[in-house]
Amino acid sequence: MRIGLLGGSFDPFHIGHEALIKGAINDGNVDCVIVIPSCRNPFKPGKTLSAAPYRYYMTNNAIASNRAFDGKVFVSDIEYSYPGISYTLTTIKEISKPNYIRTFLSSMGIDKELAYANHSFYWICGSDVLPSFEKWHEPEKILGLCGLLVASRPGDGIDIDSQKNRLAGIFGFEPNITEFPISGYVAASSDIRVTRDYSLVPDSVKDFIITNALYGDENPIDFVSADSAQDFYENAIKLYKYLGEKRLLHTLNVALLSCHYAHVFNPDLCDKALIAGELHDCAKELDEELQWEMAREISGDVFNHKKLIHSPAGALFAQQEFGVHDPSIIDAIMYHTTGRGGMEELDKYVYVADKLEPARTYADLTRERVLAEVNLDESIKLIIGNVKKKFESRGQDIHPLTFDFINDLGV
């Protein structure tokens, strides 16, 4: 098959990306397109981008909801599978390995005979990359593995033939560059993040942005150190291995909201709140028996119900797998389900964020959310009052730790 590859940060995926994919397929240059959201973008380090799983799932939703892309356009998580910066060359090398591409295409429903046939690869990009293509990381090697499929727009001012000659002069061989026309509005993700003009994104992307409250007035990552931001991004990539879509997005939302509460009430705790929130459910999808073992190892039989064991198991997993050893972060993870007597501030940020993160829809949480901006304890009283009622109506015992928590608050 002739396989087009479209890499990018997709923060957010927008109609310009759709136009590139449609253009490449409709012009007959490729049989299918694999979209590859970046994990660690070499050109956008630091705090610029949303955490990788947000961008991956947003792109995945956009492709899945476009009927015209059925069976022709796929999204790959290949960049989660290797460490270090996601250079284009590394990604092309990894995705074009026969073992990977055959399994991937088969898993996407491509007929086995086709999936196991020989493939050629084309990196899809805009014509604007050509004038500086030689500055990419190891560009000759990229051209050795794939062709370039270059979108040109009327009046974009770039003469593809002269760029081809220029690059041939630099590299000493004629690069395989094919041009295809595209039309439509030119959109830029960085502008959309600022203007929030969501007419430039597919509906599924708009829903995703709103559900997860991306691109708000404030970016909590701005409140933490560069090291903590880096830890947050790396943990998010690692969590992809352990959590499904819904829970992973939930944990990232909890991280950012915990950090927001810390910024409102005690900015010194922003860094810890971000990491504690991010890892609070890190063990929740591990094998249940393993969770019981981990819970017993770190806390004896204090957490004695299967709905609670992911908290102590998470406290242990955060240490073992994510290298977090700050006792206050470990405690915030440990007590995020039950609460405890003498809850620390950090515990409360994570507890409340877990209940109120933007994707939570289990009840109308408007009052709780408004209150939490000014008085966390009052919001917790509303939340815990409902928890107490739920337990009473079911005739269930309240956990002794939760009982202490409730007594402290005087609910």
Residues found near Fe ion in the complex (CB under 5 A): 281, 354
Cβ within 8 Å of residue 172, ≥6 positions away: none
CB-nearer residue toward Fe ion: 179 or 354? 354
CB-nearer residue toward Fe ion: 11 or 281? 281
At 243, the amino acid letter reads L
Task: Report, in Å, the least distance between residue 361 CB and Fe ion.
Answer: 14
Task: Report, in Å, the least distance between residue 307 CB and Fe ion.
Answer: 9
Task: Report, in Å, the least distance between residue 256 CB and Fe ion.
Answer: 13
Cβ atoms of 33 and 21 within 8 Å: the answer is: yes
Q: Which of 398, 366, 358, 401 is nearest to 382 (CA)?
A: 366
Cβ atoms of 331 and 347 within 8 Å: the answer is: yes
CB-nearer residue toward Fe ion: 72 or 340? 340
Rounded distance, CA 105 to CA 75, Å? 11
CB-nearer residue toward Fe ion: 281 or 368? 281
Task: Report, in Å, the least distance between residue 350 CB and Fe ion.
Answer: 9
Task: Report, in Å, the least distance between residue 171 CB and Fe ion.
Answer: 51
Cβ within 8 Å of residue 135, ≥6 positions away: none
Task: Report, in Å, the least distance between residue 366 CB and Fe ion.
Answer: 20
The gap between the terminal CA atoms of the chain, to the nearest Å, is: 65
Torsion of CA 75, 80, 82, 87, to 10 degrees: 60
For the chain, what's the residue count?
A: 411
CB-nearer residue toward Fe ion: 17 or 336? 336
Please state, in angstroms and as integers, the Cα–Cα distance from residue 383 to each residue in 301, 357, 367, following that order. Answer: 26, 13, 10
CB-nearer residue toward Fe ion: 177 or 315? 315
Rounded distance, CA 151 to CA 74, Å? 19
CB-nearer residue toward Fe ion: 179 or 281? 281
Task: Report, in Å, the least distance between residue 251 CB and Fe ion.
Answer: 7
Tokens of 394: 């079911």
Please state, in angstroms and as integers, the Cα–Cα distance from residue 92 to each residue in 21, 55, 261, 381, following that order. Answer: 18, 19, 41, 53
Please state, in angstroms and as integers, the Cα–Cα distance from residue 99 to each residue in 38, 94, 104, 189, following that order. Answer: 21, 10, 8, 33
Task: Report, in Å, the least distance between residue 280 CB and Fe ion.
Answer: 6
Q: What secondary structure letter does DSSP report for 125?
A: E
Rounded distance, CA 76 to CA 337, Å? 34
CB-nearer residue toward Fe ion: 3 or 282? 282
Task: Report, in Å, the least distance between residue 408 CB and Fe ion.
Answer: 21
Tokens of 44: 């956008």
Task: Report, in Å, the least distance between residue 204 CB and Fe ion.
Answer: 24
| 88-102 burial: b if 16+ Cβ within 10 Å, else e | bbbbbebbbeeeebb
Task: Report, in Å, the least distance between residue 378 CB and Fe ion.
Answer: 22
394: left (phi over 0), alpha (psi -120 to 50) or beta: alpha
CB-nearer residue toward Fe ion: 39 or 257? 257
CB-nearer residue toward Fe ion: 79 or 281? 281
CB-nearer residue toward Fe ion: 177 or 257? 257
Rounded distance, CA 157 to CA 137, Å? 25
